[in-house]
Amino acid sequence: MEQHLARLTTTVPISRLPTSSCSLSADAAAAGGVSAVESPIDIDTARVITPDPWGRSIDLWGYDTPSQTVTMTYHGRPSCDRRHAMEDVRGEFSTRNRIDFGGREYELKNIHYHAVSEHNVDGVQLDGEAHLLHETVHTPTPARPRKLLVLAVRLTMSATNGSQHDALLANGTGAQALPSETCATPMSAVRPDIIVRDLLPPPGSAWWYRGSLTTKANGDADYHKPVDWIVFQETMAVDWAVWEHYRSIWPLRDFPNRNAKPATNASPIVTAISVC
């Protein structure tokens, strides 16, 4: 998960909707004293604090937009003559999509995929993980820096069921091929009729903790922190053939953990929050 905040190709004004009762929570600063660890982590469900002591929830009010276009590209490293574990395929959205967490408003910047899950739960690693990277809407200043938040959806391969993620990662022909080139002219594939809310599990529960990005930006020595992580408890399915093609970009013989960062030994405060 990299600190690469791509520019939106289309700007569509969106009015602030009334906050639902779900998001009437303590100010975001209430948890300001919680230190950030290096992500990803193995979530020990026996140690999760329930309910969230700061009374926070996450409101997806801005995800209820009509279907939109997503442009998929291969996000590579400068050394394009070889694969790198910190590369991914990511999508940028044609319309603004916003959420509310802890009294702060965040805007979706991109979605990208890791070919095995980065977050484990009780020691179990799944087939993949989608990261939806968000940034606070306000203009950053030294006194009020930007804040990052990531929605993480763990994915499981299925021979019978799929999800909206398949529409983004499908490997079609010609211009609809899944971008995977590193040195050639950058490839892109436009995916129409994507419903952003369908990239997430239904309303329910998630885990929150304060961590870092899991990919270093070019030239950075450390992983950027702090980052608020929202890891959905419920998983989503992806089509077996679609996911096998995606993970083949990082052959197991060369990349034991594909393009995913292994879980660290960090044991941060993890709380359970509601998702509306």
Least confident of 7-16, 57-66, 150-159, 196-205: 7-16
Task: Kindly state whether residue 1 falls inside one of the protein's structural domains.
Answer: no
User: Three-class SS of residue 109?
Assistant: strand
User: Three-class SS of residue 56?
Assistant: coil
- For residues 116 and 156, is the Cβ–Cβ distance under 8 A? no
The first and second tokens of residue 252, run together, are 């197991």
Residue 46: phi and psi, rounded to 5, are -70, -15
Task: Kindly state whether residue 136 falls inside one of the protein's structural domains.
Answer: yes
Task: Kindly state whether residue 267 falls inside one of the protein's structural domains.
Answer: yes
Average pLDDT over residues 146-166: 95
Average pLDDT over residues 113-119: 98
Q: What is the CATH number of the domain that holds 218?
A: 3.10.200.10
Q: What pTM was estimated for this model as a whole?
A: 0.88
Give residue-wise pLDDT tens across range 34-58.
899 999 999 999 999 999 999 999 9
Task: Kindly state whether residue 180 falls inside one of the protein's structural domains.
Answer: yes
Give the structural domain span for 163.
Answer: 35-275
Whether the per-residue pLDDT at 89 is higher than 90: the answer is: yes
Residue 166: phi and psi, rounded to 5, are -60, -35
Task: Kindly state whether residue 53 falls inside one of the protein's structural domains.
Answer: yes
| Kind plus residue range of the DSSP H or E element containing 240 | helix 240-247
Task: Indicate the pLDDT class of residue 30, thresholds 50, 70 and 90.
Answer: low
Task: Kindly state whether residue 15 falls inside one of the protein's structural domains.
Answer: no
Task: Kindly state whether residue 5 falls inside one of the protein's structural domains.
Answer: no
Average pLDDT over residues 221-230: 90
Give residue-wise pLDDT tens across range 186-218.
678 999 999 999 999 999 999 999 999 999 876
Per the structure, the count of domains in the chain is 1
- For residues 167 and 126, is the Cβ–Cβ distance under 8 A? no
Task: Kindly state whether residue 2 falls inside one of the protein's structural domains.
Answer: no
Average pLDDT over residues 119-124: 98
